[in-house]
Structure 1
Amino acid sequence: MKRLLLVALICSMAIPSEATAQRRKSKRNKKNQTTQTNKPKPKKKNGYASIVNKNTKTDKGLFDVHETKGKYYYEIPDSFLGTEMLLVTRLKEIPGGLGGGYVNAGSKVNTQVVVWEKFKNKLLLKVRSYNAVADDSLPIYKSVKANNLEPIIYAFPIKTVNKDSTATLVDVTKFFSSDVKAITGIPASFRRRYKVRRLDASRSFINSIKSYPKNIEVVQDFTFDADTPPSNRSSNTITVRVNQSMILLPEKPMMPRLFDARVGYFTVGTVDYNSEKLKADSKRYIRRWRLEPKDPAAYARGELVEPVKPIVYYLDPATPEKLRKYIKQGVDDWQKVFETAGFKNAIMAKYPPTKEEDPEFSPEDIRYSVIRYVASTTRNAVGPSVSDPRSGEIIESDIIWYHNHLRSYRNRYLLETGAANPSARTLDTPDKEIGDMMRMVIAHEVGHALGLPHNMAASYAYPVDSLRSGPFTQKYGIAASIMDYARYNYIAQPGDKGIRFIRQLGPYDHYSINWGYRVIPNATTPEDEVKTLDKWIAAKADDPKYLFGVQRRGAFDPASQTEGIGNDQVKASTYGVKNLKYVAQNLSKWTSDQTNNYGDLNELYGELLGVWSRYAGHVTGNIGGIYERNKKPEQNGDVYVNVSKTKQKESMNWLQKNVFTTQKWLMPKNILKNINHTGYAQRMLRLQNRQLYSLLSGGRLERMMNAETTETNYYSAVDMVRDLRRGIFSETAGQRNVDVFRRNLQKSFIERMGTLMTTRGAQNSDLVSIVRGELNVLKSQLRTASNRAVNRITKYHYRDGVARIDAILDPKK
């Protein structure tokens, strides 16, 4: 019995009662419930079906683009992660006056190579640079990557994946409706200029997103608060419509062609760390379209072959009907040029397709190259393009024609050819001639879009007197290339027969397209091509028709100046001025007498002064000029050659006679007294100062001082300044009054000399010595001349000149 009681007691202690167990269980449940309540609830996953469903609008293409509940999503296949694409930002529609008239609908704002990369729970859009490259199999590749970190434009949270997990969905709404600087339509310079404060999100939105097989086009409307907008000032608002094109770059880049400075091409560049030399190679590749022959065997045999993919330009639907044929001709004129490179039907223009022909056609779509017709008062045309930075392959280009540009050509046609060309002596230029001008402007801009920069040496290729020959000008034009700024034949004189007055494509254009576009058989690397390319250059090296001259600001090569024609600037400008005198005498008769209005006369007179100034500037370029002829060491002759002393002194004499002596023919009373009440003397001074300041510029004088180190017979800086002083102050040699124009010019000479005294670096060169010496000589001249001056104002003027020189030479007095 005792044993049974003991067992029962042990059991009662070991096994809790049901009530006790229930209480403990209740406590545990309560504890668990408390713990679960304190834990954050897991976020509900945003599944594919919640984004893409029957209510979703889907546009299939490069990426599938989904629009649902006011948001846009990209469905990016994993196969495209790391794939290089080109992101091009353009202005689709703009407010009036944006950029001062040289920005238009269709203008490119930014171009960048981008890649999509996955990082944790985000998808990154990164910019990839080709400023430095190395093969990923080499150890140095790691250093190139480490020292060229790619910027992240945007980090997109991953929303979900598609049903088979082969693509990632991201919401791009915020990216395209926010002020992301990398894709903005208002760059930093505009923000400063127009005092842009912020993007107003309530007035900014995505207009549309369309996906095509190789590209995606996004149209955004951005509205910014701005204190000084370019138009509609009272609104304090700038609204721009921006187009973003994301295009798939070729999986296999086109084989590049190495740039050679002896043939003009736009370029892309990189620093190549693959080299085994003691430094990295800086490489530049020409920019060109990918033209590949359909029949390589026939091409290799020298037959004309069509390209696999021709270059096609579409005309803007906004182009006036009567101008379309001229624009088309300006493109099609290049077909003959490409035949020189072995291709037929390589380039063509097409009229804009109708909605039925191509419902997806859009000038902003990067699949289409378009010649855009812009409603703008700007007088210009441009030929930009978009290229693959890996190879230089041109992907697309939009040529821009501004509506008012033909007015400039009409005016210049009248002014530069009116003396020898009766059909130019009117404000109503014949349609055929206007059309021919437009055709050649388009051809020029197409040249840019093909990769060709300006070739300013082309206008120096022909002898001056050849440009007075009808047969010569009809065959060769007025310059060796359409890519020069040689618009009209201003050399031909009254009585010359059969002259071509308007520019045209020339022999250099055939040569440069052949050099850049002809496929070289059996070449598998850019380096393999160099030997053949060099042979092509060597074959033409001694012929001026095939020389290339760089356009540069502050040009030092007189053979590569803008707006000139002929190989002798003194002779050409003499002919040009002679013609211009005839035009000045008849300008009223050809304009205001016909219209009973002075508006056109005023406009054309102002441009006439500009034409005269250009002719003078061409001659000024000879003084201190240095010819530049890019060469390889295997070629004969030097790269840089000074203009002869004889030519420089001849040019100085011409300037004294035709610029610094008062050109009274430039100020006919019947014009001046009907277009302005005052300002005649100051207007002439501005024109003379342009040449005076150019002659007395630090760069020109430095070149002339350096000639002492390489030449034995040279026109020295001290001789030039002396000759300039003697000519401008020639009245001091006798008892002659100085008219107001010359008094102003002489004051300008003294002032400019004073400026040279403080030019940076002048104290450690001969420049200060020359200036001080010439001013002292002039001071003595003026003192003597003031004692025998005929009239009072001349006497006062000379005394004032002495005081001005004293202030320069001894400013502490």
Structure 2
Amino acid sequence: MIRLKFIPVLTLALLAVEIGYAQDTTAIKKPTVVAKLKPYNQVITAKAITKTGLFSVHQIDDRYYFEIPDELLSREFLFTTRLSKVPTGSPRYGGDLMNAIIVSFEKASGDKLYVRAITNAAQSDSINVLSKAVRNSTINPIIMVLELKSRGLDGKSSVVDMTDFYLKDNLISGFHPAAKKQLGTGAAAADRSALLSMNAFPGNIEIRSMKTYALGAAPRPAANDGDGGPADASPAVSGNAGVTFEISNSVMVLAKDAMQLQAYDPRMGFKSDSYSIFTDKQQKVDERRFIIKNRLEVKPEDLKRYQAGELVEPKVPLVYYIDPATPKQYRKYMIAGINSWNEAFKGAGFKNAIIGKEWPENDKSMDLEDGRLRVIRYMPAFSPFVDNNQVTDPRTGEIIQTYIGWSHSQVKTLHDWYMVQAGAVDAGARSMQFSDELMGALIQAEITRTVGFTLGLTENLRSSTAVPLEKLRDKNWLASNAFNNSIMDYNHYNYVAQPADQVSRKGLIPRIGDYDKWAIKWAYTYTGAKDFEADKKIRLAWIANNAKVGNNLIFGSQAATTSPNEITNPAAQWEDLSNNPVKAASLGIENLKVVMANLVKWTTTGDNTYYNTSDLYLTLVSQYSFLMRIAYTQIGGVNEDIKSIEQVGDVYTPVAKNIQKEAIAFLRDEVFNTPQWLFEPSVLNKFRKPAKKEEVTRMQDNALLYLFGTNRLFRMNAATMRFGKEKVYTVDEMLTDVIAGLFGEIKTHQLVDGNKRYLQKSAVAFMLKSLAEGDVIPDPTKDVQLAGTDVPVVLRSQLSALMTQCKAAIPSYSDPVMVAHLKYISDKIDHALNPKN
């Protein structure tokens, strides 16, 4: 069971308005008689409590009104919905983003305002004749109609009653359908809902409400690690009682002076967005893809100093606040994690570009729900997670809202992973209660990585491969270098360093590395270029001159939909380390053996049960499974090195045959030969009844499943056809080596223990399954299938040889179980290959 659990982040970077809209419950039905507008003072009476900011908001008893100036009717507004307070058992937490959409208001006939969703599907410069066709053929959908109650005193503003807008469900202020599905909520109950407040700020309006929803389907549990278990308990209420949330809605006007677009390139790890471009001279529609990042600008008065190479402070720094609910002993480490990015921003020419601050608890003008503020919210959640979400301007990719959620239980996750991966080296990691200094260092690293995502960065799973294996054991090198080269590479800790290496804690915990500094420099440096194409040319030249295959500025990742067990580019995966990941995995195993030998001792101090021992054992086995996966994903792997046309060499090359053979040798020694150290009775007998499949056995099964699965065998065959059998590890070679490792004892007539006999039977079953999948008529509609390839031929040949070997070995054994086992395997293969027998 993998102990890492993450709450799924609802991807709302903007919830693009899709074709087709559900009926809006706040839309106004056509009246039979058109009511005349009332005079302003009959609507906004003397009882009104008025707050002025972006525009005026008025409260009269329990009714709330917007007074929108006409000059803002053509502007684009960002509406966001976040949770503020949640019921016990909710799979989402306070601060979580639940909806985001950009709309504009425009006057309509009959004293109404149209609310139009902004989709930005196509762009065309006005100098192109084609721009007329774009304007004539595209229209942003009207998703709501608001009735005007009055016009402003000066006749230049529109007064609308927004009470029902925020109390009832609609596409703008309600939950996104995906969020409603996860929460299991039905319709809002107006009689059990209320607006709590509206506040006006210079650039935004903040609304708080309490809304009660009927419960539909049972709430979906939060995402977990794949073990099938729930994250938090379901709400302890019936569907009739419903469920109540406090909700924060924000209305923010988008800037008139939009941030300049910056071109995306797949060789750099940044999130991106795009739109279509239409011009008169093109022969196909072009896509303009641009990166997502924060606006960071040079003050006009500092431009000359900046261009001369002097560090300057940005016009508006990136400020992050720490939730006052955060335990005091952790706050300084979170702030340090935020501020650590300043070293990277120096490469872009800025000092004090990013600032972490404690929340000013006595400042009544500050509101945690203010959408303009970046806040790290501390969640009293049982499930461990760190999440982040941003809302971006679809016109430019500018990040205009940022939020980070930190689960209280994430502290335990960091503890457990550090004990398992670094406990053999760091004596401070050998207890259930870490010092504040150690826990603070772990929190700082995790916050640093998470803040990196809010800067627009994505995971760089390739960066660790730029580090030579021996450097991960060199205490002097690690004193000044990050062990994985990038905080954005998803590695927990340095599990390669051995106890004898005397590596300090600094060399065990991830930190900002060379790639991170380069990525920030590339994205945030002001080039002075006046348009998209000129800026693009400059930045692409930087990549060509700096980020080359094999150096420490390389970037690589996997598709978001790719299973970690089925990755095709093994150089870009979670938890791998160094330029020799298989050897690194072997060293990781050595450290796990040290932890396992001391597991009971380290986890039972001051505790009269073995709950902690059980928990840490599962974490240890999870790490073992990661190391196992690093090995079997090398098999049939193809390296992907994205290049532009001026860079020499191929983009796709096979993983070297010797590396794949080393991976099979690792699996033979550490997985297929029973890892008795993980089955140690003196440990397992403390907390685990022998009544179900052991976790280790499950992991061993997985290794065989993915080795002999259709996808891997097909990829290996395809690689052989593309690159030639001299350059790749063929299916026949792999099966020969795996069978030799699994059934080696049979050749020398040695007894096989029960665990390995289980694996032998599993291996035969998986091979027969793939053979059966290949023995069918090829389906031309499928991209991946074994039918028609050489794989079934090779499988039949290997299974036939194994059957003969097992039959021949039977007379050499006197042990009745071994005799029955070999007869079972040979009969099973014989029945599959020769059904008539």
Contact 2:237–2:243 (CA under 8 A) maintained in structure 1? no
1:357-368 map, 5 Å: 357=363, 359-368=364-373
Cα separation, 2, equivalents of 1:577 and 1:427 = 22
Letter in 1 for 2:801: V
Return the structure number with greater helix share: 1
Structure 1 stretch 698-707 or stretch 561-570: which is displaced more? 698-707
Change (3 A) 1:244 1:713: same
Counterpart in 1 of 2:235? 231
1:365-514 map, 5 Å: 365-499=370-504, 500-514=507-521
Matched, 1:675 2:665: no
Cα separation, 2, equivalents of 1:145 and 1:199 = 38
Matched, 1:748 2:762: yes
Cα separation, 2, equivalents of 1:43 and 1:396 = 39
Change (3 A) 1:267 1:753: same
Change (3 A) 1:93 1:785: farther
Change (3 A) 1:363 1:153: farther
Counterpart in 2 of 1:134? 124
Cα separation, 2, equivalents of 1:43 and 1:217 = 30
Cα separation, 1, equivalents of 2:172 and 2:735 = 51
Counterpart in 1 of 2:555? 548
What is the CA deviation profile of residues 93-139 of structure 1, one whole-angstrom value per residue up to 9, with x for unaligned ones?
2223333xxx3211112222211122212212121112322235544
Counterpart in 1 of 2:325? 318
Change (3 A) 1:193 1:401: closer
Counterpart in 2 of 1:28? none
Counterpart in 2 of 1:113? 102
Change (3 A) 1:680 1:232: closer
Structure 1 stretch 680-689 or stretch 780-789: which is displaced more? 780-789
Contact 2:62–2:195 (CA under 8 A) maintained in structure 1? no
Change (3 A) 1:471 1:252: same
Change (3 A) 1:194 1:516: closer
What is the CA deviation profile of residues 733-784 of structure 1, one whole-angstrom value per residue up to 9, with x for unaligned ones?
2433332212221222233224323376322333333333333333333333
Letter in 2 for 1:664: Q
Structure 1 stretch 506-515 or stretch 787-796: which is displaced more? 787-796
What is the CA deviation profile of residues 22-50 of structure 1, one whole-angstrom value per residue up to 9, with x for unaligned ones?
xxxxxxxxxxxxxxxxxx99956422221
Cα separation, 2, equivalents of 1:541 and 1:790 = 63
Cα separation, 2, equivalents of 1:619 and 1:730 = 20
Matched, 1:104 2:119: no
Q: Counterpart of 2:648 in 1: which secondary structure?
A: coil
Structure 1 stretch 727-736 or stretch 51-60: which is displaced more? 727-736
Change (3 A) 1:195 1:469: closer
Counterpart in 1 of 2:191? 202
1:700-711 map, 5 Å: 700-708=712-720, 709-711=722-724
1:221-370 map, 5 Å: 221-226=210-215, 228=218, 230-234=234-238, 236=240, 237-274=242-279, 276-294=281-299, 295-355=302-362, 357=363, 359-370=364-375
Counterpart in 1 of 2:69? 77
Contact 2:51–2:57 (CA under 8 A) maintained in structure 1? yes
Change (3 A) 1:737 1:182: farther
Change (3 A) 1:733 1:217: same
Counterpart in 2 of 1:643? 655
Change (3 A) 1:536 1:234: same
Offset, 1:342: 0.3
Aligned mate of 2:531, from 525, 534, 553: 525
Change (3 A) 1:328 1:721: same
Contact 2:347–2:521 (CA under 8 A) maintained in structure 1? yes
Structure 1 stretch 43-52 or stretch 253-262: which is displaced more? 43-52
Change (3 A) 1:214 1:768: same
Letter in 2 for 1:532: I
Q: TM-score, normalised by structure 1?
A: 0.90
Identical aligned pairs, as a percentage? 33
Structure 1 stretch 166-175 or stretch 506-515: which is displaced more? 166-175
Q: Counterpart of 2:571 in 1: which secondary structure?
A: helix
Counterpart in 1 of 2:545? 539
Cα separation, 1, equivalents of 2:530 and 2:796 = 63
Q: Counterpart of 1:558 in 2: which secondary structure?
A: coil
Q: Counterpart of 1:632 in 2: which secondary structure?
A: coil
Offset, 1:270: 1.2
Letter in 1 for 2:236: N
Structure 1 stretch 319-328 or stretch 154-163: which is displaced more? 154-163
Structure 1 stretch 420-429 or stretch 302-311: which is displaced more? 420-429
Counterpart in 1 of 2:50? 58
Counterpart in 2 of 1:717? 731
Letter in 1 for 2:87: P
Change (3 A) 1:189 1:114: closer
Contact 1:728–1:746 (CA under 8 A) maintained in structure 2? yes
Cα separation, 2, equivalents of 1:660 and 1:133 = 58
Contact 1:257–1:286 (CA under 8 A) maintained in structure 2? yes
Cα separation, 2, equivalents of 1:524 and 1:683 = 59
Q: TM-score, normalised by structure 2?
A: 0.87
| Aligned pairs, number | 767
Contact 2:604–2:613 (CA under 8 A) maintained in structure 1? yes
Counterpart in 1 of 2:785? 761
What is the CA deviation profile of residues 375-423 of structure 1, one whole-angstrom value per residue up to 9, with x for unaligned ones?
1122221232222111111112112211111211111211111222222
Matched, 1:167 2:138: no
Q: Counterpart of 1:595 in 2: which secondary structure?
A: coil
Change (3 A) 1:138 1:532: closer
Change (3 A) 1:719 1:89: same
Offset, 1:695: 1.6
Contact 2:80–2:251 (CA under 8 A) maintained in structure 1? yes
Cα separation, 2, equivalents of 1:379 and 1:215 = 33
Question: What's the C-alpha RMSD, in Å, of the aligned pairs?
Answer: 2.3
Cα separation, 2, equivalents of 1:93 and 1:298 = 47
Change (3 A) 1:342 1:314: same
Counterpart in 2 of 1:219? 208
Contact 1:648–1:715 (CA under 8 A) maintained in structure 2? yes
Letter in 1 for 2:617: Y
Letter in 2 for 1:374: M
Offset, 1:472: 0.6
Letter in 1 for 2:237: R
Cα separation, 1, equivalents of 2:204 and 2:835 = 67
Letter in 2 for 1:335: N
Cα separation, 1, equivalents of 2:276 and 2:202 = 33
Letter in 2 for 1:345: N
Contact 2:204–2:251 (CA under 8 A) maintained in structure 1? yes
Q: Counterpart of 2:825 in 1: which secondary structure?
A: helix
Counterpart in 1 of 2:749? 735
Cα separation, 2, equivalents of 1:311 and 1:695 = 47
Counterpart in 2 of 1:775? 799
Contact 1:291–1:309 (CA under 8 A) maintained in structure 2? yes
Offset, 1:481: 0.9
Change (3 A) 1:806 1:363: farther
Structure 1 stretch 592-601 or stretch 340-349: which is displaced more? 592-601
Cα separation, 1, equivalents of 2:375 and 2:801 = 63
- Mind listing any 5+ residue stretches in structure 2 that lack a counterpart? 1-31, 220-233, 775-783
Counterpart in 2 of 1:93? 85
Letter in 2 for 1:540: N
Cα separation, 1, equivalents of 2:760 and 2:266 = 43
Cα separation, 2, equivalents of 1:71 and 1:64 = 14
Contact 1:681–1:741 (CA under 8 A) maintained in structure 2? no
Offset, 1:665: 0.7
Cα separation, 2, equivalents of 1:42 and 1:301 = 65
Cα separation, 2, equivalents of 1:158 and 1:42 = 11
Larger RCO of the pair (alpha carbons < 8 Å, separation 6+): 2
Q: Counterpart of 1:471 in 2: which secondary structure?
A: helix
Counterpart in 2 of 1:26? none
What is the CA deviation profile of residues 255-303 of structure 1, one whole-angstrom value per residue up to 9, with x for unaligned ones?
1110111111111211112373211111211111111112111111111
Change (3 A) 1:217 1:634: same
